[in-house]
Amino acid sequence: MIVSVVRAVHNGEEYLTEAIDSITSHTYSKMELIIVNDASRDDTKKILDDYSDNRIKVIHLKTNMGAAYALNLAIEHANGDWIAVHDADDLSYPNRLEEQVNYIKKHPELIGVGSFIECITCPNSQYSERELRQIEFGRNHTLDGDQIKSALYHGCPFTHGTIMYSKKAILKAGRYDPTLRIAYDYDLWTRLITIGPIINVPEVLYKYRRYNESLSSKNITRTNEELLYSFLKYIRKSCFMDNSNKPSVAIFGNLGSEKLTLPNDINVKTIFSKGDSSTINHSLTLLKEEKIDGIIILNNLSGWTTVIRQLQINGLELNKEFFAFYLA
């Protein structure tokens, strides 16, 4: 079974060699590494061109197209029936591919597997050891297919670089959305999970690097906009698929943008920036009068757990009539 490891890199010279070497030193021999240089302006091109390993394919783009586009291009050039992702700043354990392949062979119903992570950072990072361990705790859970579907209503349950998925399944799901620059991975999982089950291998196989200059850290507003956009698409297709009309929702949260992009097939009826008794009662009235189909509470709302508790006291069911979604 050939595994094609795909990577997109843009101005990633600092960690590039270390990351590539973590793949080429794998214990699994039936692999290839496809790297798309997304119009880097640093020494990324020179570093890549210096590699002579015949397992490595390099594609240089002249225009920066974004990681989603670059990953789709890598997938097009992949010879393997299974695609393993490896993000540009991270490291894989030497046995990662071997363990994931073995797990897939034992569970042929799966279309994808992730893994547990070890969270690392870089010199002068503002991330404390406590914060790194908290990230690990949040990501290191074994989830079956049904649990993944439920977890996607709250946020992204996978670390993108740990994933290995069926090429056939990702083509059927529609690949990455190139209009998204940051949350393209979460968006893909919401579509891929409808094709078949994806779970995490219950073993640490990947070193996930968190640092202040990462794309998502520097662009929190856009990250959250793309997450919410993809989440709204997911609940439209999974919870409101029987609605012949465009479903409407009320949102509790601070969106932080006057030009929020929303899916065409869902309507945001109203946005509550406060979670007091008045706004809660208003949302309940809208739901009772069928002016909205659901309520969304974002974790950036002050007192958001109080809103959740009050909706449950009033008989609303989580992940059916209301949703609690975590932004970055």
Domain boundaries defined on the chain: 3-217, 220-325
Instruction: Tell me how crowded residue 109 is: count the other CB atoms within 10 A of its CB.
Output: 8
Distance CA 213, CA 242 (A): 43
Tokens of 288: 């009772």
| Angstrom distance (rounded) from CA 164 to CA 82 | 7
Strand order in the sheet with 91-92: 56-61, 31-38, 3-9, 82-85, 164-166, 112-120, 198-209, 91-92
Q: Would you say 34 and 5 are in contact if contact means Cβ atoms under 8 Å apart?
A: yes
- pLDDT score for 214: 55
Give the tokens for residue 172. Answer: 């059927």
Residue-level pLDDT at 31: 97
CATH homologous superfamily of domain 3-217?
Answer: Spore Coat Polysaccharide Biosynthesis Protein SpsA; Chain A (3.90.550.10)
Report the CATH number of the 220-325 domain. 3.40.50
Contact between 295 and 316 under an 8 Å Cβ cutoff? The reply is: yes
Q: How far apart (Å, rounded) are the C-alpha atoms in residues 90 and 19? A: 6
- Are 3-217 and 220-325 the same fold in CATH? no
Q: What is the pLDDT of residue 216?
A: 52
Q: How confident is the model at residue 259, as a pLDDT? A: 60
Positions of the chain with pLDDT under 70: 212-218, 256-260
- Quick one: pLDDT at residue 125? 74
Residue 318: strand pairing partners: 322
User: What is the reported pLDDT for 122?
Assistant: 80
Q: What is the pLDDT of residue 10?
A: 95
Residue 93: what pLDDT?
Answer: 97
CB 111 within 8 A of CB 173: no
CA distance 174 to 164: 16
Residues 6+ apart with CB under 8 A from 133: 119
